[in-house]
Structure 1
Amino acid sequence: MTVLSTQDEGKVLIDIEGEEIGVVTAVDPEEQVAFVDPEPSVANSVIQGLGFGDAGEDDIEVPADSVATITDTELRVARDL
C-alpha cells in the first residue's frame, strides 16, 4: 500500500506510459489524496518543489490507491486516471 505524505509535494506525477501528468501541489495525508496541477508554470513548479504551494481549484485529485510507486522525485500511477 502506498502512503502519501506532505514530503511528496513538488514531485512530478507520471502516468503508466512514462508521460508527465503534472506536479503535486498539495497532499492531504489524512484523506490520502494528492492534488496535481496538470499545467504548472516554471515558477509554480519551483514553489511546489520548495514545499510552499497550495492546491488550486483546477488540480486533479489522485488517491493513494492509484499510485504504484514513489521515488525521491516522482509518483507513478498504476493505471490511467
Structure 2
Amino acid sequence: MSGEPVRGTVASWDDENGWGVLVSPDLPGGVWAHFSVVRTEPGGFASLDPGESVLFTWEEAEQDGYAYRALDVRRAGRN
C-alpha cells in the first residue's frame, strides 16, 4: 500500500459503470479506480477524463484483472 500519493494519468474512464484505469510509471499494469475514491466538490459528480493528470494512493488488490486498486484519487494540482 502506498502512503504518499503517486502521480499518474487517467488511461480510461467509464461514467456509466463508475470506474476506470489509472497508469503510472511507478506501478506496472494499471490501477483500477472506482468513482467513490475520486475527490470531488461537495455534491459533485465523481468523474475523470482520459489523459487527465492525477495523484493517487493505492493498495495491492486484485480487481477486474488489475493487480492494484486506487484508494484516494485527486486531480493533480488540487488538494
Q: Same fold (TM over 0.5)?
A: no
Q: What is the TM-score normalised by the length of structure 2? A: 0.41
Q: What is the TM-score normalised by the length of structure 1? A: 0.40
Q: Of Structure 1 and Structure 2, which has the larger fraction of its residues in helix?
A: 1
Q: Of Structure 1 and Structure 2, which has the larger fraction of its residues in strand?
A: 2
